[in-house]
Amino acid sequence: MSSIEKIALFIDGSNLYATSKALGFDIDYRRLLGEFQGRGRLLRAFYYTTVIEDQEYSSIRPLIDWLDYNGYTVVKKLTKEFVDATTGRRKVKGSMDVDLAVNAMELAGQVDQIVLFSGDGDFRSLVEALQRHGVRVTVVSTLSTQPPMVADELRRQADVFIDLAELKPKVGRDPAERPGSRELRQPPQFLARGIINRGDRVE
């Protein structure tokens, strides 16, 4: 029996984006993948995001395409834009929380550790459920902002908490060093897809 820990990453895209922005740096997703590949056998890296319906161009599309060809399983959902009747403001309706939770529970019997990149307190019950299945859960967010980006109840429930600020030297990139289109078109470097069929993708 192998002693190498089996790991899966679950990235709440919008939450991680907001957290890294609050800390003043961009995530280098190639380096992030390498960092966790070095911590065990990385079975899958999920990235969850929403895309606004009927929007001809979204600034996140180049990132989604790059992730999809470079070892990440991108799970995306179309959201609907609407006008709030009470405030008159345009709002976007759509959440990936349920999709992330379902995928995490499906994978619980096949991994030793799940790394959750989110500070959303709604995930506390998911973390608790995964722990009941014998999975260790690491939460990545930050306490280094005012107010903190991680909910206290989520941080307390996690087996391990990693402050994203501490990971900056390993996975960060200055916003001025954003990759150009040439890097986004680099040949794909696939992560071993392992145990979940590609059919899990939400189009």
Contacts of 125 (CB under 8 A, 6+ apart): none
Candidates 135, 100, 97, 98; CA nearest to 114 is 135
Question: Using CA atoms, how far apart are residues 169 and 157, in angstroms rounded to an integer?
Answer: 26
Q: What token pair was written down for 105?
A: 């529970």
At residue 183, the pLDDT reads 44
pLDDT value for 3? 75
Identify which of 113, 94, 101, 92 has the alpha carbon closest to the alpha carbon of residue 39. Answer: 113
Coil, helix or strand at residue 39: coil
CA distances from 184 to 30, 155, 187 (A): 11, 34, 9
Quick check: 1 pLDDT over 80? no
The percentage of the chain sitting over the pLDDT mark of 90, rounded to a whole number, equals 66
Question: Is the pLDDT confidence value at 57 over 70?
Answer: no
- Residue 167 CB partners (closer than 8 Å, separation 6+): 35, 140
For residues 32-46, average pLDDT: 96
pTM of the full structure:
0.80
Q: CA-CA distance, 54 to 73, in Å (whole number)? A: 23
pLDDT tens-digit readout, 89-144: 766 666 789 999 999 999 999 999 999 999 999 999 999 999 999 999 999 999 99
Cα–Cα distance list, 172 to 26, 32, 55 (Å): 6, 8, 29
Looking up tokens 């996140």, which residue turns up? 60
% of residues, the chain, pLDDT over 70: 77
Looking at the predicted structure, is the pLDDT value of residue 80 above 90?
Answer: no
List the alpha helices (DSSP H) in the chain: 13-23, 29-37, 61-69, 97-107, 124-132, 152-157, 164-171, 181-184
Q: Tell whether the model's pLDDT for residue 193 goes beyond 90.
A: no
* Cβ neighbours of 180 (radius 10 Å): 7
Residue-wise pLDDT tens digits, 60-78: 788 999 999 999 999 998 7
Of 19-33, 43-57, 98-112, the poorest mean pLDDT is in: 43-57
- Inter-residue contact 165 to 27 (CB < 8 Å): no
- Return the biggest CA–CA distance within the chain: 60
Handedness of CA 69, 72, 78, 79 (dihedral sign): negative
